[in-house]
Structure 1
Amino acid sequence: MEVGIIVKHKPDFQLFFITLCLVAFGLVMVYSSSMVYALQVVGSSSSYFFRHQLLSAGIGLTGMFILMNVPPAFFNKHARKITLVILLCLILVLIPHVGHQSQNVRRWLGPPSLLFQPSEFSLLTILIYASYIFAKRRDQIHSFKKGVIPPFLMIGLQTFLILKEPDMGTSMLLLLSGLAVMFAAGIRFRHMAVLAAFLVPVLFLFIYMQRYRAQRLLVFLHPFSPKYANQGGYQLIQSFIAIYHGGWFGKGLGRGIQPFGYLPVPHADFIFAVIVEELGLVGAFAVLLAFSFFIWRGMKIATSLEDRFSSLLAIGIVSMITWGVIINVGAVSGLLPVTGIPLPFISYGGTALIVKLWSVGILLSLSRYTRPLSLHGVEREASPIDFESMKMKQKRMRARRQNNQQSAKRS
């Protein structure tokens, strides 16, 4: 069924509300965790990072409101163009004197006051492209040559360009999100096995090509080793200390000791450790519960869409947020190697926050074309045709009751 046939309705309010709650909580935690860092390291006011994050939240929310009113057909129609623009930006980043470099890392484009990371935008555009290809080539999905290779090549190319920046975390998130769309599209299990057999050796090759990546893996396995405790393992150890000191209810907002120069850059990728220290395991559980609710609403939207492109795109966006939470929390708690993935909506990072909010805007737009519609507060699972017929039946029933009442008065 095409998107245009489905009756348009209001976006998913629950998804909208939980997103605003996560962003608001993130702003509070960025301020709480970055006050001392802003004063001691940056030499600015205590609200320096908070103000920057607030500006990014404003841009992200504005884009979210705009995108939630853009029909999914627009992204389906312009999927190739959007992907090519971001692909060009990823190439420009790697060109000397064009891409902005900081500490041997080249990830940014634009003037110094308006820098942005194309790799963050590629997370969204690759999902749009993959959804477009798998929706268009639905009849070829079981063909490895025609249905699997073309979208995988685009995913692989963008992953490779991001690895060259280098940015292992974002490339991993892009690859996992893209594979989630491929799996949801229904590619054969043996084709997934072939891709896995190819990707695993390549992944380990990229890890051991750079010494710091291999060291991260060793630090993950032996964080308390004397060889790593004061170097690569220091951040992870401080994260463990923060979680231990947090207990059940935490030390209180703004009363944690890790932001006082112990945990490096506490407002960024390891902000979840500060959350546990200041709000305790109860606060951490509440955050994870909020993310779980977000994921549940997102998947409910995805499974209620009849248009294949829209459904795959919704699954891709939800998987991007899901993998972001899993990888970040796993790294902070020592269950996964540290990869530099921010906690969605909460960690400090302008481009990352903007892209996540714009992704939610698209997801809210998709939610306006789902099968479940609301009539007098009662949720329905009927198709648009059934919905219209139900309204006609209600009109006939009202007319019949009026006729009966008039007949009773006459008698």
Structure 2
Amino acid sequence: MQKSKKSKKSKRGSSDFLLLVSIIALVFIGIVMVFSASWPEAMVEKDDGYFFLRKQLISAIIGSVAMVFFMNFDYRRLKKLSLPIYILSLISGLLIFSPLGSTRKGARRWINLGFTTFMPSDAIKVGSVIFFAAFLANKKDKVRSFKEGVIPALLYMGLSCGLIYLQKDLGTTITLAATMVGMFFISGMKLGLLFVFGAAGALVLYLSSRGEGNEFRANRWTSFLDPFKDKLNTGWQAVQSLYALGSGGLFGLGLGKSRQKFFYIPEAYNDFIFSIIGEELGLIGSLIVLLLFIIVIWRGILIALKTEDLFGCYLASGIVALIAIQSLINIAVVTSSIPTTGITLPFISYGGTSLLFYMSAVGILLNISRYAKLDRS
């Protein structure tokens, strides 16, 4: 018994150093840029230029503790805990519709705990990835079965994404849906289902922009086609973001010298923080941030490929897909490559819940890397 425990322990190596350093660098850049981008609003709204910086620092410290904890928490134990984790994440989403739910800017997406606010969609994303990885690992020989594989997978996707969609958060809904479809595809689903998912996604996008109360989504599609046509109204954010990126040039205007953060871009420290990075740090700074994300995604894919455990492979794939898809959507919005949607840039945008859950997810990924057969030279 002692011998088997010892051999099990000896399999565990060190965490992926390059992945860890890249995440630390992204979080550090995020703290600096949140401070720079939030200064004008913090001075006007809070009479304290350091208000958002302090909150982001506290979130980064808590997130670092969570990351270190999950780095040393055997990820294989999450398989047994996947159902309770998933149920808790769904319950947190349902609390939106309780008296604890808080509405901001026409969307009910937050839970007000009194001392702080909490965004359950981040919990649902991570909880769904953990649970779906366990489901796919358990159904490894029946994934292609319509009754035992496809139908349950569709139900879980619909439940997770539907709960977020009810919060009027289309960007996060798309992110989680694409992540879960990606995990399902990796597990061996039939190729034809990709076209079904694509058609279903297109139908949801179409229906979400129709009807009373959804005019703002239809306007976003219209302004996306030509943001300068209505640059003082529906195209405002996209145009101001492009101005910021364009004025940054190669080396940027200099840290803290952005002009667009002075109330031209709403909440410049949040969804459009990448445009402020482009303005202050230029093309060079933007490319460094992109390179760090590429390293994180590359190392994550490598960890998934080198993990012998099926649950670990799917879990690593889901975490990497979540980071990659959300980052891609955010940067595409900022560069006006897709219609505007409110979605943060992982590790960099302001937001305590997002930072906490993404750092926790990376902690799990780093733990998986300890059991993967990686070249650690």
With the length of structure 1 as denominator, give the TM-score of the two structures.
0.87
Once residues 4 and 191 of structure 1 are traced to their aligned partners in structure 2, the CA distance between those partners, rounded to angstroms, is: 39
Give matches, 1:167-246, under 5 Å. 167-209=169-211, 210-225=214-229, 228-246=230-248
Q: Which amino acid aligns with 1:30?
A: V
Q: Does 1:79 align with 2:82?
A: yes
Runs of 4+ in structure 1 deviating by more than 3 angstroms, as ranges, are 3-6
- For residue 248 of structure 1, give the secondary structure of its aligned residue in structure 2: coil
1:110 deviation in Å?
A: 4.0
Map 1:286-297 onto structure 2 (within 5 A): 286-297=288-299
CA distance in 2, matches of 1:202, 1:270: 25
Q: Give the letter for the 2:283 counterpart.
A: L
Residues 26-45 of structure 1 deviation map (CA, whole Å, 9 limit, x = unaligned): 100011111111112x1321
Q: Which residue number corresponds to residue 156 of structure 1?
A: 158
**Cα deviation 1:231-278 (Å, max 9, x = unaligned):** 121111111111111111111001111112222111111011111111
Is residue 90–residue 158 contact of structure 1 (8 Å, CA) maintained in 2?
no
Specify the alignment match of 2:42 in structure 1. Answer: 38
CA shift, 1:294, in A, is: 1.0
Alignment of 1:39-54 (within 5 A): 39-40=43-44, 42-54=45-57
Distance in 1 between residues matched to 2:242 and 2:300, nearest whole Å = 32
Give the drift of 1:6.
Answer: 7.8
Q: For the structure 1 residues 368 and 24, does the alpha-carbon distance in structure 2 shift closer, same or farther, using more than 3 Å as the test?
A: same
C-alpha contact 1:59 1:354 (8 A) present in aligned 2: yes
Measured in 2, the distance between the counterparts of 1:160 and 1:189 equals: 24
Offset at residue 141 of structure 1 (A) = 1.1
Percentage of matched positions with identical amino acids: 37
2:4 match: none
Hey, what's the Cα distance between the residues in 2 that align with 1:109 and 1:265?
20
- Whether the 8 Å CA contact 1:94–1:165 is kept in 2: the answer is no
- Distance in 1 between residues matched to 2:194 and 2:135, nearest whole Å: 17
Write out aligned runs for 1:250-261 (5 A): 250-261=252-263
State the secondary structure of the residue aligned to 1:106: strand
Moved more, 214-223 or 48-57: 214-223
Q: Higher Cα Rg: structure 1 or 2?
A: 1
Aligned mates of 2:179, 2:114 — CA distance in 1: 30
1:136 pairs with 2:138? yes
- Aligned partners of 1:5, 1:185: CA distance in 2, in Å? 28
Deviation at 1:373, TM superposition (A): 5.8
Residue 240 of structure 2 aligns to which amino acid in structure 1? Answer: Q
CA deviation after TM superposition for structure 1 residue 196, in Å: 2.6
Which residue of the partner structure matches residue 3 of structure 2? none
Alpha-carbon distance, 1:179 to partner: 1.0
**Inter-partner Cα distance in structure 2 for 1:52 and 1:233:** 31
Residue 129 of structure 2 aligns to which amino acid in structure 1?
A: L
- How far apart, in 2, do the equivalents of 1:280 and 1:77 lie? 47
| Residue of structure 2 equivalent to 1:387 | none
Measure, in 1, the Cα distance between the counterparts of 2:83 and 2:153: 11
Contact 2:100-2:113 at 8 Å conserved across structures: no
The 3-state SS of whatever aligns with 2:108 is strand
User: RMSD between aligned alpha carbons?
Assistant: 1.6
Q: Any stretches of 5+ residues in structure 2 without a counterpart?
A: 1-6
Give, in whole Å, the separation in 1 of the partners of 2:16 and 2:266.
38
Deviates more, 1:228-237 or 1:63-72: 228-237
SS at match of 1:39: helix
2:118 to 116, 140, 157: 116
Unaligned runs of 5+ in 1: 378-411
For 1:164, the aligned partner's letter is L
Structure 1 stretch 198-207 or stretch 157-166: which is displaced more? 198-207
Distance 1:60 1:160 in 2: 27
- Structure 2 counterpart of 1:147: 149
TM-score, structure 2 length as denominator? 0.94
